[in-house]
Structure 1
Amino acid sequence: MSTIENYMLETPEKMLEIIEKAPELFREIKKASINKIILTGSGTSYHSGLQMSRQLQHLLQMEVVAMYPFEMNEDTFLMDNEQTLVVGISQGGSSYSTYNAMKLAKSKGCLTASMAGAEGAFIDEVADYILTVYCGEELAGAKTKGFYCTKLNLLLLALSIGLEQNRLTLDTFTEKVEEVKKAAEHFKGVYDASEEWIEQNKERLANSQEIRITGPANNYGDILESALKLLETMRCPVTGYEFEEFIHGIYNAIDEKSTVFILDDGSEPRSKKMKEVLSEWSETIFLLTTYESEHADLVLPTIQSSDFLTFNFIIPLQLICAKIPSLRGVDPSTPKDPQFHMKLGSKKFNK
């Protein structure tokens, strides 16, 4: 079993631990006067913020936006910033770009919080509130466990603030936490179904030359994260698009070399037709659904709540990252150049 697989299998337990630690972790920040939240980070960290931003905004009824650190500059903070919270996310906690974005925000009067995957992180130095993601060690270059745990930490932050500020009821708070626990319970079942399907299709998957992923807007952050993980580990061209964006031009690039994953949670009635049309050009068009369908290549036994599907939906794509690269002569747990960040000066520590 690969390192990535071990980390994935730890995820449900770590999610429950994070829920247990949330009251103490958010005890101080929930009292802060906040009316806007900016989530910032790169790569997987950005995707976690993007994936959760819509749900957080709905729960809190305040502006919540995800931004790359490079998007943030002096003009980002033109208004009164005293009630703006900037959350810097970095799995290893040593990203210079995230650190610098938080430092800029702080200089403009914002509140700052850090979310790193370990205590004593570099980005903690510029944080008013340290909101460690207690996911445990994850040494693989391609992060999986940390992605789920960061998304959960963001959700629990919003629930804590919402309850304290009377933006949501105790019943809603309790309901959301219970839904997360249900999603954690579904994790292993989705993992097992994905593992069986991957074994059946491993030769076709191993021969992938270029990969496209498309799916619903509600899971756009997850789609981008899937593309990043597949690119990191399969080491071939990979891109991810929301369904409507895929229709606007991307389909032109699909040919016999293309592998396409269509994620369908039942919200897009054209998914079946998309598979049908693309299958005229490629034999590796895969429809992954969360509901029973005779047209699906893989039906995932996920939680059915659309808000919490994010804790189950991309398990098969992450598991491909763990199992298939070795068939291509690649160790998926080790970056192509382990010293890359040190050479480029992009991180304080090589995490």
Structure 2
Amino acid sequence: MLDFTTDTFDHGVSSKATEQAPVNDQVLLDAYSNAVIGVTERVGPAVVRVETGPKVRTPGERGGLGSGIVISPDGLVLTNSHVVGSAKEIRLRDIEGVVTDARVLGVDPDTDLALLRANGARDLRYASLGNSKTLRRGQLVVAIGNPLGFESTVTAGVVSALGRSIRSISGRTIEDVIQTDAALNPGNSGGPLVSSKAEVIGINTAIINGAQGICFAVASNTAQFVLSEIIRHGYVRRAYIGVSGQTAPIPRRHAVLAGVDNKMGALVAQIEPDGPAAKAGLLPGDVVIKLDGVEINGVDDLIRVLDRDRIGKILAMDVLRMGRLRAIDIHPIERKPAGR
């Protein structure tokens, strides 16, 4: 009797759960769909197609194509620097097909970002930059752009990882990059990665050829910094010491002799004449292991430390020279972008 009652009870619970599951799934799917639809309706009109090159082309001549996001009603547009390149003619096409000429206010190849202004545009639909520091892995994100020329395409996914580093077209490392599995293709570059709050939390920048679901976006906080620097100076200010080098291992015996913990450092290969490094007495073959109190375990660390806050300051640098530790004072200067 007891066994029969138990079996009946278990069966009843199972049947009820089976009947309710489709209802619950439908509610979840509707919530997901409504979130994506809401984001698309709010941000989609602010996404533009970025076309570069002459309007009238000779046979065989090709122009560039990418995406951009309007971030102010007076026509400020964020996109990738590799979308703009060195183009002298740039056009923006909105969701309604209206074409507007644009000009470049500034580019930053080190973060693959560019700031444009739509000529004569006012009261445009625009999107707001959010705070990328509040992102969490697994969070819903939506990408909007023009992949392969298909305008106003929407894809959705999640934040796969945070704090990634990728190499920019200038060779510098872009820090704090967002990894997402929202499908991206050529043409999505420069378009927005958007949160469920309809805030732009990234600028889509790169895909890995041959891989599926591994795409990257420059974090909105980085974009906000670049935006403010370009508006203020026309370019992004960074410190410069006049060396080229590579990441190299530190022989164990050298580390023990010098009393340091570094296993890797930034090996100086070349030094620019009359640059800050040359004036400080740095020599080819020196291995930088610390700068301004920050441990240097490679070229990327050295580049990261040389930010705008260290321009014009005298910094303490520790280097290994022939296995012996040396302390050098160095005076970084402002690095001027090409063409200035």
Q: Specify which structure has the higher proportion of strand.
A: 2
For this structure pair, what is the TM-score category when the shorter chain's length is used for normalisation? under 0.3
Compare relative contact order (CA 8 Å, sep 6+) and give the higher one, 1 or 2: 1
With structure 1 as the length reference, what TM-score do the two structures score?
0.27
With structure 2 as the length reference, what TM-score do the two structures score?
0.28
